[in-house]
Chains A and B, each alone.
Chain A
Amino acid sequence: MPFVVVGVMLALGLYAILFSKNLIKIAIGLSIVESAVNLFLITLGYVKGAVAPIYTMAPAGKKMVLPTPQALTLTAIVIGLATTAMLLSLIVMAYKHYGTLDIRELRRLRG
């Protein structure tokens, strides 16, 4: 089931990136794809009824999930933050240059 959600989110994000005309919407689309990938990684590590892999005050006698997918997701989130910040600041600069966020107006480089 979560994989269906991952697929839907991927499709939505890609749709936003490919077909929207607004730079902010493209950035949002990229974030949606990113969340889809993070969700995918987290679901890979899902074990039914298991607890988080932390021994401090853990409930006794429960299974624990493997922490690796969660570590991967955390790293991906951090990287995603840097990407989004970078992209948004570029968009701010583009707005200052062109006075619009419409990608159809950003056409100085062709060929």
Chain B
Amino acid sequence: MEHLPILVVAVPLFVAFAIPLIDKVGGGRYAKEGVTVGSLLFSLIGMILLLKRVAALGPQVYVFGAALPTLTLPTGMKVPIRIMFEVDGMSAFMALSGSIAALAAAIYSIAYLKDETGKDRFYVLFLLLVVGMLGMELTGDIFNFFVFLEISSIASAALVAFRYYKAESIEAAIKYMVVGSLSALFVLIAVGFLYGKYDALNFAAIAKRMEFSWADKIALALLVVSLALKCGAVPLHMWLPDAYAEAPASVTALLVSVSQASLYGLFRVCFSLFGVKMSTLTVGWIVIIFGVLSMFIGVTMALVQKEIKRLMAFHAISQTGYMLLGVGVGLAVLGNPFDLKSYGLMAMKGGIFHIINHAMYKGLLFLTAGAVFYRAGTRDLNKLGGLAHNMPWTTVYFIIGAAAIAGLPPFNGFASKLMIYESVYKFNPILSIMAMIVSVLTLASFVKIFQSAFLGPQLPEYKDIKEAPMSMLVGMGILAFVVVFFGLFPELIVRTIVDPAAKALVDQASYISKVMGGM
């Protein structure tokens, strides 16, 4: 059991490397799909067990290559020298959300990519992307974080370009690659600054000795900007709609979770690495401004889009804004225990709950968009129409996803948005009102898609199209089930997984002491 943190990452990695060999020896028609789904199912179950373990025993560490998984400080050493994974409530929460999305997307891909070539490479890259994402979320070492960031950004650029015969996907992949590797290099410069100052690469070891001098400020600025860029916050969002719109739908559903891994990195840096030693009010406001800009510009750009996936991609930016807003409010009042208790923690819970909700419903929406594209062959809203006659299940899934993203009860988006509105109102009423306006605009734009793609008379050119294939329905069904389940029992979810995640972010001391001992 103490090996769980590594197993959830290493098993998909092992399978990723084995896929080309399995493909070479033959091994059945669906061999690579089977092992991919199997390994992702293993990771999901492992993550659930790990989450339970973290809830029961507190943060878990896993030190590579040591005689014992928990031996963080070898005898006579003051700083940890080995690479380690450190899993607290927040990491486990993020990784759980990512592995659900990954499993659904992998099942969906089986039918979605049936007629494409190069599927063995697709599944290798897909698993590498999952490994990069989970690694970013579980690692306790800042350089290791950079390595996983690069793994995920290279794998996702390759996957965006998967349909290499389309000029648009190559163009999107080039943009993503340049922007992604540039931001990763900025993360590396920040790592250099921190290493040069503290001679350590471990989050906890650096946090323990954090002085917040000028070098740390440069590092913080570089980290915040580059991670905000990777998660698509607004002034730095230009790559995101292209990449999301041009990637195959199952990859886009996973890319949502991968961008959230960068978001997690941003929160981890702000809360656990710098924590109360920096001026949390300033940084908190910076994060809030990123959030509000993302919410507003994302949704207004989405309103004018004609292309279904591009429209959804702009909504992804806008929803990221909610998470940044919620957690940013928590960060802004981190130094003030009273405010933190009265509304800060609630805002953070809302933001964090919104992360998993967003990964689920936005993944679902992208998958339905992919199903529409798979059957109708176009993503242009002006050409689509009347699909509800032919694709009833896809329509139902779309309604679930759209209602969730617009924040209608009883779906999960409502629960988390309500938490954000209530708590942010106490912090600053204007921000809360803006969030509500954005929500209304979101609803308007999804009504537009629904009306133009699904409703209306049956168009002659779409008369013969059928419902999406089975595996795609199953993939969408998993996410739809999670959306509805979370919407019906928000209390349960908040109590079991969201609350520990928010507390884990705030509780910097136990994050440090788990690695550095009780000094």
Contacts and interface: CB of A to CB of B under 8 A. Distances in A.
Direct chain A–B contact by Cβ atoms under 8 Å: yes
Nearest to B171: A106
B425 interface: no
Interface stretch (B153-161, B371-379, B474-482, B505-513): B153-161
Given A23-B174, A83-B177, A109-B242, A76 B188 contact: yes
A17 B516 CA distance: 41
A75 B310 CA distance: 36
A109 B168 contact: yes
Contact of A44 (B170, B196, B301): B196
B170 A90 contact: yes
B154 A82 contact: yes
Given A40-B192, A66-B199, 19 more contacts: A26-B178, A30-B178, A30-B181, A34-B181, A37-B192, A44-B196, A72-B195, A79-B147, A79-B150, A79-B154, A86-B154, A94-B170, A94-B171, A98-B167, A106-B171, A109-B172, A109-B241, A109-B246, A111-B305
B185 interface: yes
Contacts of B242: 109
B453 interface: no
B305 to A, nearest CB: 7
Contacts of B182: 17, 30, 33
Contact of A41 (B158, B170, B192, B301): B192
Interface residues of A, number: 31
Nearest to B242: A109
Contacts of B154: 79, 82-83, 86
A69 B196 CA distance: 9
A93 interface: yes
A37 to B, nearest CB: 5
Contacts of B172: 109
Interface of B: 143, 147, 150, 154, 157-158, 161, 164, 167-168, 170-174, 177-178, 181-182, 185, 188-189, 191-192, 195-196, 199, 201, 241-242, 245-246, 301, 304-305, 310
Contacts of A41: 188, 192, 195
Contact of B174 (A33, A34, A76, A94): A94
A95 to B, nearest CB: 9
A12 interface: no
Chain B interface mostly = helix
Q: Most chain-B Cβ atoms within 10 A of its Cβ — which of A37, A83, A109? A: A109
Q: Most chain-B Cβ atoms within 10 A of its Cβ — which of A23, A33, A66? A: A33
B446 to A, nearest CB: 18
B130 to A, nearest CB: 18
A91 interface: yes
Nearest to A94: B170
Nearest to A103: B174
B313 to A, nearest CB: 11
A108 B167 contact: yes
B298 to A, nearest CB: 13
A11 interface: no
A7 B145 CA distance: 24
A108 B310 contact: no
Contacts of B305: 111
Interface in A75-107: 75-76, 79, 82-83, 86-87, 90-91, 93-94, 97-98, 106
Contacts of B170: 90, 93-94, 97
A26 B154 CA distance: 17
B25 to A, nearest CB: 27
Closest 4 interchain pairs by CB?
Answer: A97-B167, A44-B196, A83-B181, A79-B150
A90 B150 contact: no
30 contacts: A17-B178, A26-B178, A30-B185, A33-B182, A34-B181, A37-B189, A40-B189, A44-B196, A68-B201, A72-B143, A72-B192, A79-B150, A83-B150, A83-B177, A83-B181, A86-B154, A86-B157, A87-B174, A87-B178, A90-B157, A90-B161, A90-B173, A90-B174, A91-B174, A94-B174, A108-B167, A108-B168, A109-B246, A111-B241, A111-B305
